[in-house]
Structures are given as structure tokens and as C-alpha cells.
Amino acid sequence: MLRKQYALFMSILKWFLIAVGVGNDKATGNCMLCQVYFFTNITCNYCPVYKRTGYTTCEYTPYFEWSRHIDKFHQRYYKLWKRIRCLQCFKLALKEMFFLISLILDTFKKGE
């Protein structure tokens, strides 16, 4: 498996584990896409998420909705890692997972 598919797969796995209630979101700290693209290039420009949306730091993706939801409704857990705490959290984690799954085909495009 190529590096970009591996990074995407690991990110999908992260969100699957969050959705089923055993995973945590440590933002860039446990995102394999950030590890591969952001930390090596100091830019989101080569990340499949950026390529889809045209925005850095996952703006305008379900991750943004997830972050906003956590900040608004679960702020008292601020010092803990983000994880599922209500039905909406669950829905947004799944939404992020399916968004990432939808990027798989993009990574096989010619010349990338």
C-alpha cells in the first residue's frame, strides 16, 4: 500500500474507533494524514483533505463541525481528549469517517 493510501486508511481507522467509542481525537497528534503531510511539509497543500476542499486545517469538513460541537457542548472536558459524549458526537464522527472514505479514490488519481 502506498504511503498516502496508508495515511488515509489510518485516519479512517482513527474515526472508526472514535465512532465505536474506544478512540480519542488528539487533533494533529493522532492524525496520520497530519503526520505524513503537515509535519513533513509544514503545509496542508499535499493532503487529500486539502485537495478536496481547498482549505487548510480541515476547515469546511465534518472535522470542523466535530470540533465546534465539542467546544460548544462538551467544553467542561476541555482538558481531556475528544471522544464520543452524545449522539451528535457519534453522528459527526461517522460523518468524518465517511468523508475520509470518500477521499480514497482521489488518492489514486493520475500523476499524484
Find the Cα–Cα–Cα–Cα dihedral 51, 3, 36, 32, rounded to 10°: 90
Residue 13 Cα distances to 24, 25, 32, 43, angstroms = 11, 12, 10, 23
Residue 35 touches Zn ion, criterion: CB under 5 A: no
| The one segment of 29-37, 43-51, 83-91, 104-112 that binds Zn ion by CB under 5 A | 83-91
Closer to Zn ion by Cβ: residue 22 or 86 = 86
C-beta closer to Zn ion: residue 18 or 89: 89
If one asks whether residue 89 binds Zn ion (CB under 5 A), the answer comes out as yes
Among residues 51, 52, 83, 85, the one that binds Zn ion under rule CB under 5 A: 85
For 83-98, letters b (16+ CB in 10 Å) and e give bbbeebbebbbbbbbe
86 is a site residue for Zn ion (CB under 5 A): yes
Q: Is 24 in the site for Zn ion (CB under 5 A)?
A: no
The radius of gyration of the chain from alpha carbons, rounded to an integer in Å, stands at: 14
Tell me how far, at minimum, the Cβ of 47 lies from Zn ion, in Å: 26
Q: List interacting residues with Zn ion (CB under 5 A).
A: 85-86, 88-89
